[in-house]
């Protein structure tokens, strides 16, 4: 797995702006090579800002949105119209891009007619052998990624798509990809802002021994990017960061 590259930005808005610029450029590269771009999305405050910007800028870009697939790294197992969901707000924000509905793959909700275990199994079947070109991830203050929490059964559960119960962060029931799937993505891009994430960022990037938090064990096959704002990077040594203001 590749080592991570740290790109430092002024604030959360700058991280979102940089993400969109990089993502549009990467999708164009993939499509120029004849590929359908397969993206794994995340929730969170930066992602919300980025999707708004992506919807606005993407319409005038060189991207063929008919050749883009969207997947999700984790989801809260709640009703489709719950404000806790990751997928539906993102789908609504990105609707102006016109991505075909059959190429958008949200994880199941509680009103889908199946229980948590069956819902996770159904997403595993839908995912099949899909490998992501870019997997976007946030990082929790405790170092969790997707819905894989430190010192919680979710971090050790085998398989590709798992049911998560008794999540340390509400709501308690979730569906998550495992690191087996995430680390099989060609590129993993972390999007992290805020002083409350600084310790987790340091734990993930500065580890010298065994993996203590899921974020420390997460890497893309070809590339791993950490897009951080200054507050999130506050506990990193200066020589680990490189200016990436866009």
Q: What is the CATH number of the domain that holds 11?
A: 3.40.50.1360
- Domain hosting residue 184, numbered range: 4-243
Region 29-43: mean pLDDT is 98
| Model confidence at 116: pLDDT above 50 | yes
Name the band, by pLDDT with cuts 50, 70 and 90, for residue 244. very low
Helix boundaries (H) for 33-176: 45-58, 87-94, 116-127
In terms of DSSP H, where are the helices of 95-158? 116-127
The pLDDT of 116-140, averaged and rounded, is 98
Number of C-beta neighbours around residue 167 at 10 A? 19
Reading the block at residue 196, the tokens are 């409350």
Number of domains in the chain: 1
Mean pLDDT along residues 179-193: 97
CA–CA–CA angle 57, 59, 60 (5° rounding): 75
Cα–Cα dist 149/154, whole Å: 6
Q: Which of the residue ranges 2-6, 129-133, 159-163, 229-233 would you say has the lowest mean pLDDT?
A: 2-6
246 pLDDT higher than 80: no
pTM to 2 decimal places = 0.94
């Amino acid at each position: 797995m590749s080592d991570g590259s740290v790109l430092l930005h002024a604030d959360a808005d700058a991280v979102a702006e940089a993400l969109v610029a990089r993502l549009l450029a990467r999708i164009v590269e993939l499509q120029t090579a004849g590929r359908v771009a397969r993206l794994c999305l995340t929730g969170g405050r930066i992602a919300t800002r980025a999707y708004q910007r992506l919807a606005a800028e993407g319409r005038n870009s060189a991207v063929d949105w008919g050749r883009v697939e969207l997947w999700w790294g984790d989801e809260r197992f709640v009703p489709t119209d719950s404000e806790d969901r990751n997928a539906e707000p993102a789908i609504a924000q990105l609707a102006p891009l016109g991505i075909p509905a059959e190429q958008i793959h949200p994880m199941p909700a509680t009103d889908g007619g199946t229980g948590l275990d069956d819902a996770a199994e159904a997403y595993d079947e839908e995912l099949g052998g899909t490998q992501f070109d870019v997997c976007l991830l946030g990082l929790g203050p405790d170092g969790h990624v997707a819905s894989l929490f430190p010192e919680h059964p979710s971090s050790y559960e085998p398989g590709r798509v798992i049911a998560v119960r008794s999540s340390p962060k509400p709501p308690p029931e979730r569906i998550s990809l495992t690191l087996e799937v995430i680390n099989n993505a060609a590129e993993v891009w972390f999007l992290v802002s805020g002083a409350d994430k600084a310790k987790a960022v340091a734990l993930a990037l500065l580890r010298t021994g065994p993996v203590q938090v899921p974020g420390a064990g997460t890497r893309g096959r070809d590339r791993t990017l950490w897009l951080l704002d200054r507050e999130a990077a506050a506990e990193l040594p200066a020589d680990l960061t490189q200016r990436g203001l866009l």
